[in-house]
Structure 1
Amino acid sequence: MSGSRSSRIRLLLPGAAAVCATVLLATGCSSDSDSGAAGSAGGRLVGDAPAVAAASGGDALQSAYQNTVRNVLPSVVEITTKSDLGSGVIFDTKGDIVTNAHVVGGAKTFKVSLASGGRALDAKLVAAFPANDLAVIRLSAPPDNLKPAVFADSTKVSVGEIVLAMGNPLGLSSSVTEGIVSATGRTVSESQNDSASGTVATIPDLVQTSAAINPGNSGGALVDLNNQVIGIPTLAATDPQLGSGAANGIGFAIPSDTVTRIAGQIVRTGKVTNSGRAALDVTVRGVVGPGFQAAGVAIVSTAKNGAAAKAGLKAGDIITKAGRTKITTVQSLTEALAGMDPGQRITVDYTRDGDPHSVRVTLGSL
């Protein structure tokens, strides 16, 4: 599906064309050295027990962090192409590595550096699935010491959970940042590398995190303290008031259930046959009405035997509503479909030669 877009989300890859998510940020922080000293003194006057308990809790948390780093970081790799750098996660002992589609871009061959060091290894693209910003590459000669990551059940991820982001931000290999899960179930649209074409990927069910996500973290690991990968970092928001400056503490990761479903199919068959994503099976473009206001999306073509074609929709029809969602732009259609399921029946409102119509459509699979 192609067309213009208005949302602004930044791809986490040095040198890649980037756009940014519009975010409103508020900060409220004060510092008072006198009150801080008084509070500290007050804590000592109460006695040693609270301080000892706090130290013990801090030591336990630090140990948990370090244990997770020791267990998971060996599963995170650095991926380089001729022009860019990103991260990846070892998927199996056969040398399959999952990463972001925007990390691989148009490249077919790669150099992969393991966290354990040593010379860079050769790898080739297996397949990419840009709709979910995922790809799998495969080491040409996988070593015996590969350590595949353990992927969590992302349906059990909860807001407030402590997480670590592992990757190679700005080329700083094997870096780790910490934060929490800020939200789940986010749907975000992003431009692909070929931004001139207006190609948009709308990714549902993203995990939002406060762990610092920087260019080069793409394709790395978002990890819980049970040493399991809960997601693959893919996006970072930016503050529009700062131009290209990052909006601290707002990053997004593809949930692990989606990662294992998509990557598993690519590893087994070399392609994605069941995305779990709904589709109308059409190519569309945006249209404008009076005053040059966005007024719907025109069907450019329909896939043979696809969902739209089976329902009687055809090139030239202008879609104005899908289910309960008013459709004004290509992005609004992709976002509406991202919240639906293959096989679901919806009502599509459209105009043909200026006359309004409605039709029931059984959605296909993206």
Structure 2
Amino acid sequence: MTVSHLRNVTAAAAVAAGLLLSGCSSHGSGDSGESTTQAAPMADSDLQSDYQQVIKDVLPSVVQIDASDSLGSGVVYDDEGHVVTNAHVVGKEKTFKVTTATGKQALTAELVSSYPEQDLAVIKINNPPSGLKAAKFADSTKAEVGQIVLAMGSPLGLSSSVTQGIISATGRTVSEGRSEGATGATIANMVQTSAAINPGNSGGALVTLDSEVIGIPTLAATDPNLGDSAAPGIGFAIPSAMVKTIADQIIKDGKVTDSGRAALGITGRTVLGDDYKPAGVAVVEAQKDGAAAKAGIEAGDIITKLGDAELTTITSLSEALAGEKPGDKAQVTYVRDGSDKTADVTLGEM
């Protein structure tokens, strides 16, 4: 079957754990024993009913997206036929086939706009059918570790599939690789989940027991010790707050007009030290009127720190900037002609 690929991503915690990141009898009286044996099945039944209700509520809003050389998932955003998904699912394609959970004949859709910097995109179904159900989106700022979630999508091309787990961490900053069509995006505030995330889940829905989408599954971790195969129980979803911010702008203006992402305004590359290990980010170009140029940073300078964050690679710079906002002030440490220098930079916007 044709599948899309979840990408490798990197994060400090995962590196420390040896992971590369890529898109969870008692004894007593007879009476108490009887009470215990009756309560457990009731609790199990209640949870099962909750799962089934969530699936009934949300699965009709999750679609399968077929591009010419990839397959992924998407979430119906409104009753006008807009569908939000990942930028790496749409790739460079402009037209798509969309299959709803009913499994009826595929619909055609066209790209509205893609925003690779956040690995998000919006497509629009041509002639959306009546009854197309838009998903409800949760407030991801209220996501809690331990919260039960369900992942819905088309893993390995198996449409309308559901897995379950918990939110295992929040506030993760992760970076995609650039191989196999990945965007190379660095994304802040990601929701980490133990729900199984597989190729084809990209762009689908991570859903709470309130039947609300709290994130868009995007990335899965891989373990180099296992031949870069998936590390079970470590997946990441773009938080719904960011999804709504980007999707609303694309639908309104046809593009992202306010990214909320901090930038130095440079083109850079990783440089190696005398020990052949990554040692900083060389400025290839400092954009005219960009944040770095305004602070006196020039092409040829090697940036080694942003605030207190040590920078050794272009990815580490992206991850440091992901935690900042446009307009924030940051001290940048750099090397020029063998001497360490610092500059106070007012960060611009990506």
TM normalised by structure 1 equals 0.87
2:217 corresponds to which of 233, 251, 263: 233
SS in 2 for 1:53: helix
Q: What pairs up with 1:285-304 in 2 under 5 angstroms? A: 285-304=269-288
Separation (CA, whole Å) in 2 of partners of 1:113 and 1:44: 55
Task: Look up the match of 1:214.
Answer: 198
Task: Look up the match of 1:126.
Answer: 112
| Percentage identity across paired residues of the two chains | 58
Task: Look up the match of 2:22.
Answer: none
Structure 2 unaligned regions, length at least 5: 19-24
Structure 1 moving runs of 4+ over 6 Å? 40-45
SS in 1 for 2:233: strand
Does residue 263 in structure 1 map to residue 252 in structure 2? no
Separation (CA, whole Å) in 2 of partners of 1:202 and 1:48: 54
Task: Look up the match of 2:127.
Answer: 141
Deviations 1:131-184 (A, max 9, x none): 211111111221121111100001111000010000000011100111111010
Q: What pairs up with 1:9-158 in 2 under 5 angstroms? A: 14=3, 16=5, 18-19=7-8, 24=17, 47-158=33-144
**Are the aligned partners of 1:20 and 1:240 in contact in 2 as well (CA < 8 Å)?**
no
| Superposition deviation, residue 17 in structure 1 | 8.2
Task: Look up the match of 1:329.
Answer: 313
SS in 1 for 2:238: strand
Task: Look up the match of 2:167.
Answer: 181
Does residue 349 in structure 1 map to residue 333 in structure 2? yes
SS in 2 for 1:184: strand
**Are the aligned partners of 2:61 and 2:134 in contact in 1 as well (CA < 8 Å)?**
yes
| Superposition deviation, residue 15 in structure 1 | 5.2
**Are the aligned partners of 2:139 and 2:241 in contact in 1 as well (CA < 8 Å)?**
yes
**Are the aligned partners of 1:348 and 1:359 in contact in 2 as well (CA < 8 Å)?**
yes
SS in 1 for 2:162: strand
What's the C-alpha RMSD, in Å, of the aligned pairs? 2.3
Separation (CA, whole Å) in 1 of partners of 2:37 and 2:161: 31
Deviations 1:255-314 (A, max 9, x none): 100110111111111111212211111110111221222221111122332212222222
TM normalised by structure 2 equals 0.91
1:247 corresponds to which of 231, 248, 253: 231
Question: Structure 2 vs 1, CA of residues 138 and 330 (structure 1 numbering), >3 Å: closer, same or farther?
Answer: same
Structure 1 unaligned regions, length at least 5: 1-12, 26-38
Q: Which amino acid letter does the alignment assign opposite residue 270 of structure 2?
A: G
Q: Which amino acid letter does the alignment assign opposite residue 260 of structure 1?
A: K
Separation (CA, whole Å) in 1 of partners of 2:257 and 2:35: 59
**Are the aligned partners of 1:90 and 1:98 in contact in 2 as well (CA < 8 Å)?**
yes
Separation (CA, whole Å) in 2 of partners of 1:97 and 1:238: 28
**Are the aligned partners of 1:294 and 1:328 in contact in 2 as well (CA < 8 Å)?**
yes
